[in-house]
Amino acid sequence: MEKHKIIVAYDFQELSNAALKQAYNLARFVNSGILLVVVLNDDLLMLSDVFMNEHSDHMKKKITDVMQKEIAGRLQEVARNAAKESGVPVDYCIETGKIYERILEIAKENGARFIVMGKTSRESGKVRFGSNAMHVVEEAPCPVITMPSVECGTTFKNIVLPIDLTKQTREEVFNAISFGLFFDATIHLVSVIMGGISVRKSRIYKKMQGMKKMIEENGVKCTDKLFKKSHLAIHEVILEYSKDIHADALMIMTHQEISTSDKYIGAVAHQIINESSISVISLTSAASMHKQSEKSSYWFSKLFTTSN
């Protein structure tokens, strides 16, 4: 099985079918195949407890075998149709265990370039970020794209990139340029000034202008928007701005620079993922695209030759 897959967490539901379609362009983006991963979790397998008797273990294994055979037949058809529709190789695998653990293990084993998955839980009538997706974003060795609904587009033309004063500028810019070049996208930089300082005297303004210059010098369209502090929380400002400009994706760095070795998602990033109505591309310093690519140093130097 070839490596460097786009991993799609799949469960035959409408949202995972939408995630699969979004993976088509990603696979072309990084020149890789797609791997559908179905995980039969412990809750599902416990349904076999209704057959509990002196041969319970044997019965459970029999039920699991039948279940896997049925799922494999359906997956084979889904993969075949997806490969025909997308023009990229599509494989599948069936796993048992905890969903997030198996997805992470498969991603590491396959040198995954992206993981694509839908939100999986609801709270007070709103789609929320499920615990499985949360664990995946926290621990993934590659960028993770979460889709909140089937209405999300399959390509990225307007990408909002929130920035702050942490030191991940290189990772943010590289990923923004990579997406911008492939998808012919416009990158929309956005941030919020927390203090009473004037816009042009703020450090975040200077950082934003530097990032915009690098992005534009590498052939990608870019805008910038700096909001003054208001009654709205930071994530609310970012989400409202994304809605106003009809963005179809948000790209966020999920970890603070000082915590890149920790399994921690910053509060603003967490709220953006939870409440966004568009796809979110979640990155960490460790999982940004150029650090996982074998040709990272080459591509990074090419992208920034005009900026140094």
Distance CA(161)–CA(279), nearest Å, equals 12
Torsion of CA 255, 259, 263, 264, to 10 degrees: -50
Confidence at residue 268, expressed as pLDDT on a 0 to 100 scale:
84
Confidence at residue 289, expressed as pLDDT on a 0 to 100 scale:
55
H-helix or E-strand containing 14?
A: helix 14-30
Whether the per-residue pLDDT at 303 is higher than 50: the answer is: no
Question: At residue 12, what are phi and psi to the nearest 5 degrees?
Answer: 70, 0
Confidence at residue 259, expressed as pLDDT on a 0 to 100 scale:
40
- Give yes or no for a contact between 61 and 3, defined as CB atoms under 8 angstroms apart: no
- Grouping H, G, I as helix, E, B as strand and the rest as coil, residue 137 is helix
Confidence at residue 265, expressed as pLDDT on a 0 to 100 scale:
63
Pairwise pLDDT comparison (308 vs 207), residue with the higher score: 207
Pairwise pLDDT comparison (165 vs 177), residue with the higher score: 177
Confidence at residue 155, expressed as pLDDT on a 0 to 100 scale:
83
- Give yes or no for a contact between 26 and 182, defined as CB atoms under 8 angstroms apart: no
Confidence at residue 170, expressed as pLDDT on a 0 to 100 scale:
74
Point out which residues pair with 128 in neighbouring strands: 121
Whether the per-residue pLDDT at 51 is higher than 50: the answer is: no
What are the respective helix, strand and coil percentages of the chain, to the nearest 5?
45, 20, 30
Among 101, 93, 90, CA closest to 26 = 90
Instruction: Give the model confidence (pLDDT) of 262-272 as tens digits.
Output: 445 678 888 89
Whether the per-residue pLDDT at 198 is higher than 80: the answer is: no
Confidence at residue 91, expressed as pLDDT on a 0 to 100 scale:
95
Task: Give the mean model confidence (pLDDT) for residues 111-125.
Answer: 72
Angle at 62 between CA 59 and CA 63, to 5 degrees: 90
Point out which residues pair with 91 in neighbouring strands: 35
Share above pLDDT 90 across residues of the chain, in percent, rounded to a whole number: 45
Confidence at residue 302, expressed as pLDDT on a 0 to 100 scale:
41
Task: Give the mean model confidence (pLDDT) for residues 54-77.
Answer: 72
Task: Give the mean model confidence (pLDDT) for residues 48-73.
Answer: 63
Confidence at residue 159, expressed as pLDDT on a 0 to 100 scale:
96
Instruction: Give the model confidence (pLDDT) of 122-169 as tens digits.
Output: 444 444 456 777 788 888 889 999 998 888 878 899 999 998 877 666
Task: Count other Cβ atoms within 10 Å, centred on residue 157.
Answer: 14
Residue 56: pLDDT band (50, 70, 90) is: low
Residue 261: pLDDT band (50, 70, 90) is: very low
- Give yes or no for a contact between 157 and 140, defined as CB atoms under 8 angstroms apart: no
Distance CA(39)–CA(56), nearest Å, equals 22
Contacts of residue 118, defined as CB under 8 A and 6 or more positions apart, other chains included, come to 9, 13, 15, 16, 18, 19, 133, 146, 147, 148
Domains and CATH numbers, the chain: 6-147 (3.40.50.620), 158-303 (3.40.50.620)
Q: Which of these ranges, 116-125, 127-136, 243-252, has the smallest mean pLDDT? A: 116-125
Instruction: Give the model confidence (pLDDT) of 151-161 as tens digits.
Output: 887 889 999 99
Structure tokens at 91: 């494989």
Task: Give the mean model confidence (pLDDT) for residues 218-233.
Answer: 92
Whether the per-residue pLDDT at 225 is higher than 90: the answer is: yes
pTM beyond cutoff 0.75: yes
